[in-house]
Amino acid sequence: MSKFWSPFVKNLVPYVPGEQPKLAKLVKLNTNENPYGPSPKAIAAMQAELNDNLRLYPDPNGERLKQAVAEYYGVTPAQVFVGNGSDEVLAHAFHGLFQHDKPLLFPDISYSFYPVYCGLYGIACEQIALDEQFQIRVADYARPNGGIVFPNPNAPTGCLLALDAIEQLLKANPDSVVLVDEAYIDFGGATAISLVDQYPNLLVTQTLSKSRSLAGLRVGLAVGHPQLIEALERIKNSFNSYPLDRLAIAGAAAAFEDRGYFEQTCRQVIDSRESVVAGLQALGFEVLPSAANFVFARHPHKDAANLAAGLREQGVIVRHFKQARIAQFLRISIGAPEQNQALLDALSSL
């Protein structure tokens, strides 16, 4: 603390990202990165941008990327917002759409950045308990609110909420924005972007960090009614005119255009997930049904913190949350087949 700080900084509780270890040899299954690497076409597009044009500012609106996203999803560019990672897009949405008198609702077990943004922007929130099966129960959200946000599939559980349940939420809350954070939707869910033309209160965010394997590039997006997008643009243009650099715009657009590579690598991750689930179950783990590129699992007789520590000694890192209700679970990212095997071997030795 310092006398120079703005007073509110004293009370900020920042988000703690998963560890990025400096050791290269670790089997890193703790931050849901994609084992397959970005599309070769995305890499080529970025290499082509690596030239003297870097002395010029990028397109402040990232039109080329908005166009690629719009084409992919069959929407118009005016329904698309792009930003520096979906964390930034989420931050702008919280700032621009959720600062109301009534509280923002989100699940008690979900992305731990949501309460952090509430703290940053002074947004009142209420956390709604997931049911005993760790599922979102739509009826529990029937209460006064200034907005609703949840990841779908949920993180860190991996559980998917069906589109018709999302539609119920949208219909029941016509006066507030329902934000669906689809960071993991490409690993087994149906996107709610199909509903944006029908529901002006729906905003969907996605990231290129997971299914398009570009966590290091920092690109995220939102799709929704042009008036919701306009709020995000106003915040963005009051904060940073150029959140995406030239490489990011070119690489992300090319990644969206390369459907073949995207579909093939998603399929490989999904297939690996099914064998990791089977392997964990064979070791006695209970595994929640996952539609994401990670699984959430607990062992009836082994303490999760001890397991995580034991795995680390064997060079495998997974994520453990010291949080009520989920302290006995491990969140394990799906890696390449040999990484998944290393995980299962290390667990069986424990």
CB 142 to ligand PLP: min, Å: 24
Choose among 244, 186, 323: nearest CA to 64: 244
CB 18 to ligand PLP: min, Å: 9
Residue 243: count of CB within 10 angstroms of its CB: 21
Residue 234: count of CB within 10 angstroms of its CB: 13
CB 215 to ligand PLP: min, Å: 6
Taking the C-alpha atoms of residue 286 and residue 295, their distance in angstroms, rounded to an integer, is: 10
CB 166 to ligand PLP: min, Å: 16
Q: What CA–CA distances, in Å, run from 138 to 126, 141, 200, 343? A: 15, 6, 19, 35
Nearer to ligand PLP, 229 or 346 (CB): 229
Choose among 240, 182, 243: nearest CA to 212: 182
CB 312 to ligand PLP: min, Å: 21
CB 217 to ligand PLP: min, Å: 9
Nearer to ligand PLP, 39 or 209 (CB): 209
Nearer to ligand PLP, 179 or 343 (CB): 179
Nearer to ligand PLP, 21 or 284 (CB): 21
CB 152 to ligand PLP: min, Å: 9
Taking the C-alpha atoms of residue 259 and residue 280, their distance in angstroms, rounded to an integer, is: 31
Residue 348: count of CB within 10 angstroms of its CB: 10
Nearer to ligand PLP, 85 or 335 (CB): 85
Nearer to ligand PLP, 245 or 346 (CB): 245
* Torsion angle of C-alpha atoms 98, 99, 102, 108, degrees rounded to 10: 50
Site residues (CB under 6 A) for ligand PLP?
Answer: 85-87, 111, 151, 155, 181, 183, 207, 209, 215, 220
Nearer to ligand PLP, 329 or 342 (CB): 329
Nearer to ligand PLP, 109 or 155 (CB): 155
In which residue are the tokens 């002074």 written? 122
CB 222 to ligand PLP: min, Å: 11
